[in-house]
Structure 1
Amino acid sequence: MVVDRRSLMAGGVALAATAAMGPAVRAATPAFASKRPPVGERHFVSKAVEAEIKRVAAKIADPELAWLFTNCYPNTLDTTVKMGTVDGKPDAFVITGDIPCLWLRDSAAQVKPYLHLVREDPKLGELFRGLIGRQARSILIDPYANAFMEDPTARTNLRWSQTDQTEMKPGVAERKWEIDSLCYAIRLAYGYWQETGDKTPFDATWAESARAIVRTFREQQRKDGPGPYSFQRPSQQPSETLLAGIGLPTRKVGLIHSAFRPSDDACLYPLFIPANLFAVTTLRELAQVANGARGDAALANDATALADEVEKALAQYGTMNLPDGRKVWAYEVDGFGNAVFMDDANVPSLSGLAWLGCVKADDPLWRRTADAAWSPANPWFFQGKAAEGIGGPHIGEGQVWPMSLIVRALSSSDDAVIAQCLATLKATHAGTGFMHEAFDKDNPAKFTRDWFAWANGLFGELILQVAKTKPHLLG
């Protein structure tokens, strides 16, 4: 029997729940003892990050919230970074946590909370330049892959990928085509460029990878056929494979097709709206980097033209009406008039569009969409004895993802909303001191993934934002 990532995560619930059990177990541990590795065992140490931890923690009057922050914020650096060199330049391999491979999306998101400190610490600069370079080289191996091996000559070591019916090249860990994977690579590069103005990582290899991104997006508009990508997986879960290797039929309207969502679940309809909105935003960011860092007008113009085309298609095909008549962004469409409304905790999501900078936070269409996503109008919104929040098909019904609570708080300016999200996050970590992938809406001791660096980093990012804008909520 093929063991896929979903089964592996589900199998970890019992172990995680045992580790998180009750007061008797936790009583033996000093209250709020640090869960960080000893200094000598940390993978990457930044003086600027350590100073930031102390600065922000001093603003948090709630001791448990401060403890969660000091555990979660440095988790990526403490546990997931491996530095090296390639051709005399920094190389950074950043794993997701309990899966020892680099996801383009996760790794870019994991380091984002440290971006504002990059000018204060040369070592952090090396980390960002190393990851930009690693992602560029990975994209050139295969722009359709979502996850990569540390050794670019190695075959995948992920059990669930080894029987996939797709073109698995050396260096690829998993080959699920997700628009957002390439968007996150752009966002990483753009963030570094905006923060530093440093042209160093934007070399010929980076430019070649950027052109590969634009080319792949154009291929997946599928105007001239389905393109070179297909994927099927032997699995009992339909969300792990694609009909005929490419998904359900679509009308080719200018939107980019995505085989999978940022949850790594297969799209129902291949025209995945949150990722198309993210692509419009990041293509324009790519144009800024191409112009500013390289003076490459051709690349910039190509990226901008594609962004304009996708934006026009989104305006025509990306919305739908709910049964009560409200006009909202759709989650997925097929271009024939069929659409699905739902939201998934993984970002890009409908709920996360304003936080990602794809829409304005006061945009009425997005506000209606976000409100509907955080309600029973979304089949993946759950309310239980312990929490309410958004989950998704990846773990299943009744499972709330902390990520959904974090993104809701990051996207809000309402004190009551932010305070409620913080209170729920504090009450549902099951005594572990870290964020998880998902937890049972009625019993947070039942959770998946006790080492999930993306969620930990997002929580740290939330606390940074609240400390800067609404410090009174940290008491």
Structure 2
Amino acid sequence: MVNRRNFIKKSSLGLGFFALPVSAKFMFAEKYISKRPASAQRKFTSEAVEKTIKNIKKSIADEELAWMFENCFPNTLDTTVKFYQKNNKPYTYVITGDIDAMWLRDSSAQIYPYLSLANEDEKLKILLKGVVNKQVECVLLDPYANAFYDDASKISEWKDDSTDMKPGIHERKWEVDSLCYVMRLSYNYWKITGDPSVFDADWKRAMLLILQTFKEQQRKDSKGPYKFQRSNGNPLDTQFGGGYGNPTKKVGLIHSMFRPSDDATFYPFLISSNMFAVVSLRQIAEVFSTVLKDKNFSVQFKNLANEVNEAIQKYAVLNHSEAGKIYALEIDGFGNALFMDDANVPNLLSIPYLGYASKEDEVYKNTRKFSLSNANPWFSSGKFAKGIGGPHIGEHKIWPLGLIMQALTTDNDEEIIYCLKTIKGTHAGTGFIHESFDVDNPKDYTRSWFAWANTLFGELILHLYKTKPEILKTKF
């Protein structure tokens, strides 16, 4: 058996972060012409975003990295947003990129980095408020759906799924994190802009529906109203047990039938998403208490957060044979657990990014070492990169989302530089961030237009500009 000391030595954290076996730089011509749409073809332009791009580009010494930032950071605004007014309210429909549908998770993450600029640009602020309003509309349509259309007459390719599909829904995979992202966005919109006007009657109804949905999915009294099965032959696209998932012991955790990758959970208690729920429920409790002056519902949100948190600490902290005491990704409450990590956020790697625990938390530090090691079955290493992937695409593929989150959850300069160097060396000459790529061949990638990954990369550069500007002065 490998002991914990040897495990740490064997993990990627002990190997040195500059260890790319083969340089990827030779693969691509160094031509750094902007890949953004022409100004007249952009969906939305923000003066504050344009000013930020110019300022940060000047501070990035590596020309290729600066070019990627210029392409990626505004990609959501350039290509994915549709803004309109309805009933005297702004609405913003945000597609994920190459799929014409609005994921609650993706749309939140795509526009999240622009929140810090909202007070500098009124047009941008209204656009962001429109995303909150649109997400509220989606939740009120169906809190169990993960992706929606702006046109209710559009027919989904998943219309025959065995679940309660409604007009306007693209896909109805129940994912706890989808609703957490909705809460996170509206809360942080208010905290950053100081504008409480988003907390109107519709918003309040949506939040109470989220509270109801989370309680339903604790399944204390019944299996609840949601079930899902799909007959396309892909086991990651459907669920066990007649659509309700594998059996669980009801311990207070919230069941999630799918992960943020849109893959089916094996054990229904997805711990990273339950952690996200704890943070988000507490945030909404603050809104109900501070803004709405509704102590009754504030206490209900807070109590659910505390119940879920206690269950996480009691049931999800387990001893791994190599890594020691860590968080499992999925559990069933009976003692069974799935020890792995997936690159999609929320994952175990992202715990401090979500605000659930500190980077210095001992269980998190053990978990992080596990996630970034060969003990994690979805960690891959090859000629050009090493990092976390997931079953959604398969073996030998890693996700830049994982590399970006790795950099966002460390203060280690060497590790951050490794992540930047790897991201720069594996974009296959496109200047954009992909969903995944092969560790031995970066030209073998999935999704050339994946706005979530593009904007999260922009968020990383923005973060480094504010916290570690000296790193951006490095040429890789």
Q: Give the TM-score, by structure 1 length.
A: 0.93
1:313 aligns with 2:311: yes
The SS at the match of 1:444 is strand
The aligned counterpart of 1:290 is 288
The aligned counterpart of 1:389 is 387
1:133 aligns with 2:130: no
Which of 237, 242, 248 is matched with 2:239 structurally?
242
Which of 135, 146, 169 is matched with 1:172 structurally?
169
CA distance in 1, matches of 2:395, 2:368: 20
The aligned counterpart of 1:39 is 39
Asked if the contact 2:323/2:366 (under 8 Å) is kept, the reply is no
Evaluate the alpha carbon distance shift between residue 192 and residue 325 of structure 1 in structure 2; reply closer, same or farther with a 3 A threshold.
Answer: closer
CA distance in 1, matches of 2:285, 2:310: 18
The SS at the match of 2:131 is helix
The aligned counterpart of 1:18 is none
Structure 2 counterpart of 1:86, one-letter code: K
Structure 1 counterpart of 2:330, one-letter code: E
What percentage of residue pairs aligned between the two structures are identical?
A: 52
Asked if the contact 2:323/2:367 (under 8 Å) is kept, the reply is no
1:448 aligns with 2:432: no
For 1:117-266, what aligned pairs fall within 5 Å after superposition? 117-151=117-151, 153-157=152-156, 159=157, 161-243=158-240, 244-266=242-264
Structure 1 counterpart of 2:440, one-letter code: D
Could you report, residue by residue, the CA deviation over 1:53-108 in whole angstroms, capped at 9, with x for unpaired residues? 01111100110000000000000000000000110110000000000100000000
CA distance in 2, matches of 1:248, 1:106: 27
Could you report, residue by residue, the CA deviation over 1:371-398 in whole angstroms, capped at 9, with x for unpaired residues? 1010011000000011000000100011
1:358 Cα offset (Å): 1.1
CA distance in 1, matches of 2:264, 2:282: 27
Evaluate the alpha carbon distance shift between residue 357 and residue 156 of structure 1 in structure 2; reply closer, same or farther with a 3 A threshold.
Answer: farther
Q: Which runs of 5+ in 2 are unaligned?
A: 1-24
Structure 1 counterpart of 2:290, one-letter code: G
Q: Which runs of 4+ in 1 moved over 6 A?
A: none
The SS at the match of 2:82 is strand
CA distance in 2, matches of 1:192, 1:296: 20
1:340 Cα offset (Å): 0.9
Asked if the contact 1:199/1:294 (under 8 Å) is kept, the reply is no
Evaluate the alpha carbon distance shift between residue 407 and residue 48 of structure 1 in structure 2; reply closer, same or farther with a 3 A threshold.
Answer: same
Structure 2 counterpart of 1:384, one-letter code: G
1:293 Cα offset (Å): 2.7
For 1:343-382, what aligned pairs fall within 5 Å after superposition? 343-382=341-380
Could you report, residue by residue, the CA deviation over 1:327-362 in whole angstroms, capped at 9, with x for unpaired residues? 100100000000011000000000011111111111
Could you report, residue by residue, the CA deviation over 1:154-174 in whole angstroms, capped at 9, with x for unpaired residues? 3543x2x12211000111110
CA distance in 2, matches of 1:121, 1:248: 48
1:188 Cα offset (Å): 0.2
Could you report, residue by residue, the CA deviation over 1:30-62 in whole angstroms, capped at 9, with x for unpaired residues? 820000000000001000000000111110011
RMSD of aligned Cα (Å)? 1.4
CA distance in 2, matches of 1:328, 1:225: 31
Structure 2 counterpart of 1:371, one-letter code: K
1:325 Cα offset (Å): 6.3
CA distance in 2, matches of 1:387, 1:162: 39
The aligned counterpart of 1:114 is 114
1:289 Cα offset (Å): 1.8
Structure 1 counterpart of 2:417, one-letter code: A
Structure 2 counterpart of 1:92, one-letter code: T
Asked if the contact 1:221/1:257 (under 8 Å) is kept, the reply is yes
The SS at the match of 2:318 is strand
Structure 1 counterpart of 2:80, one-letter code: T
Could you report, residue by residue, the CA deviation over 1:273-307 in whole angstroms, capped at 9, with x for unpaired residues? 00001100100011112223322222211110100
Asked if the contact 1:155/1:169 (under 8 Å) is kept, the reply is no
Structure 1 counterpart of 2:136, one-letter code: A
Could you report, residue by residue, the CA deviation over 1:222-281 in whole angstroms, capped at 9, with x for unpaired residues? 001110000000122211100110110000000000000000000000000000011001
The SS at the match of 1:200 is helix
1:125 Cα offset (Å): 1.1
The aligned counterpart of 1:97 is 97
The aligned counterpart of 1:14 is none
1:23 Cα offset (Å): 8.5
Q: How many residues align?
A: 449
CA distance in 2, matches of 1:296, 1:154: 38
The SS at the match of 1:58 is helix
The aligned counterpart of 1:48 is 48
Q: Give the TM-score, by structure 2 length.
A: 0.92
Asked if the contact 1:221/1:252 (under 8 Å) is kept, the reply is yes
CA distance in 2, matches of 1:202, 1:127: 16
Asked if the contact 2:323/2:370 (under 8 Å) is kept, the reply is no
Could you report, residue by residue, the CA deviation over 1:113-160 in whole angstroms, capped at 9, with x for unpaired residues? 111110111111111111111001110100000000112x33543x2x
